[in-house]
């Protein structure tokens, strides 16, 4: 059964580092797709990083954060919302087709995210897939330092952090403040590999055979 792993959290919190480490450790291929991959697919005139983009109101755009004038937030226009929905549908399609997938971050669009998590739960309930939703957090000072290493607008991490978790009831909520990427990965992998044994148990091993019915 295919596994869908969703890793969420604010910009610079360590999502991509964790996603890459999970891909590297798993003994099965895990496809990675997330909101940054989607942003790279967006035409320049709909993209938030394009100065004076012709279709910024319909696409993605950066605006000052309402709570902090030094911060920046991403606003999703109607075309952007449909792109986010397409991303979620693509993830579900890949998993339903039998591919293991790790989602390296979702866009901050509550309605779209609720639709996705409801669909994910329904697919798990119906026995089509396995899934785990991981939410990473960090305190503001850590996020500021980490954000400086990324080529992103100043304040994006803080703006997203103040919005709270993308999924209100993740399977694993982990504070990464003051922790190395290796330490975060070790804890997540210990939890994840026990929850989804296909990621770490070679086919034909004793552990796998022990669960098979006797003939």
- Domain for residue 205, yes or no? yes
Answer yes or no: is pLDDT of 12 > 80. yes
pLDDT of residue 144: 85
Alpha carbon 130 to chain centroid distance?
Answer: 16
Residue 202 burial (10 A CB sphere; 0-12, 13-18, 19+): exposed
Residue 70 burial (10 A CB sphere; 0-12, 13-18, 19+): exposed
- Domain for residue 54, yes or no? no
- Domain for residue 176, yes or no? yes
Question: What CATH number is attached to the domain comprising 204?
Answer: 3.40.50.300
- Domain for residue 72, yes or no? no
The pTM for the full model equals 0.90
In angstroms, rounded to a whole number, what is the distance separating the alpha carbons of residues 119 and 112?
11
- Domain for residue 17, yes or no? yes
Ramachandran region, residue 69 (left: φ > 0; alpha: ψ -120 to 50; beta: rest):
alpha
pLDDT of residue 203: 59
User: 87-91, 100-104, 144-148, 162-166 — which is least confidently predicted?
Assistant: 144-148
- Domain for residue 57, yes or no? no
Residue 153's pLDDT band (boundaries 50, 70, 90)? Answer: low
Residue 152's pLDDT band (boundaries 50, 70, 90)? Answer: low
Q: What is the pLDDT of residues 52-82, one digit of tens each?
A: 999 999 999 998 877 666 678 899 999 999 9
CA dihedral 41, 44, 46, 52 (to 10 degrees): 160
Answer yes or no: is pLDDT of 215 > 50. no
- Domain for residue 118, yes or no? yes
- List the structure tokens of 148: 């400086």
- Domain range for 26 is 3-38+98-210
Q: What is the pLDDT of residues 203-214, one digit of tens each?
A: 554 433 223 222
- Domain for residue 80, yes or no? no
Number of domains in the chain: 1
Contacts of 200 (CB under 8 A, 6+ apart): 25, 26, 27, 193
In angstroms, rounded to a whole number, what is the distance separating the alpha carbons of residues 181 and 162?
22
């Amino acid at each position: 059964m295919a596994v869908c792993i969703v890793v969420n959290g604010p910009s610079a919190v360590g999502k991509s580092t964790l996603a890459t480490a999970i891909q590297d450790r798993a003994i099965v291929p895990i496809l990675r797709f997330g909101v940054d991959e989607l942003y790279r697919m967006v035409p320049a005139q709909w993209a938030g990083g394009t100065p004076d983009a012709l279709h910024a109101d319909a696409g993605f755009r950066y605006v000052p954060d309402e709570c902090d004038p030094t911060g920046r937030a991403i606003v999703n226009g109607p075309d952007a919302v449909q792109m986010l929905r397409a991303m979620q549908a693509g993830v579900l399609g890949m998993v339903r087709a039998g591919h293991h997938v790790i989602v390296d971050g979702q866009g901050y669009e509550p309605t779209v995210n609720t639709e996705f998590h409801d669909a994910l739960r329904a697919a798990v309930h119906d026995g089509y897939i396995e899934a785990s939703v991981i939410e990473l957090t960090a305190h503001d000072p850590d996020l500021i330092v980490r954000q400086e290493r990324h080529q992103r607008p100043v304040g994006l991490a803080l703006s997203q952090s103040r919005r709270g978790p993308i999924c209100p009831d993740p399977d694993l909520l982990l504070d990464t403040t003051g922790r190395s990427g290796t330490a975060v990965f070790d804890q997540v992998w210990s939890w994840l590999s026990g929850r989804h044994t296909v990621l770490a148990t070679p086919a034909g091993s004793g552990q796998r055979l022990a669960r098979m019915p006797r003939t």
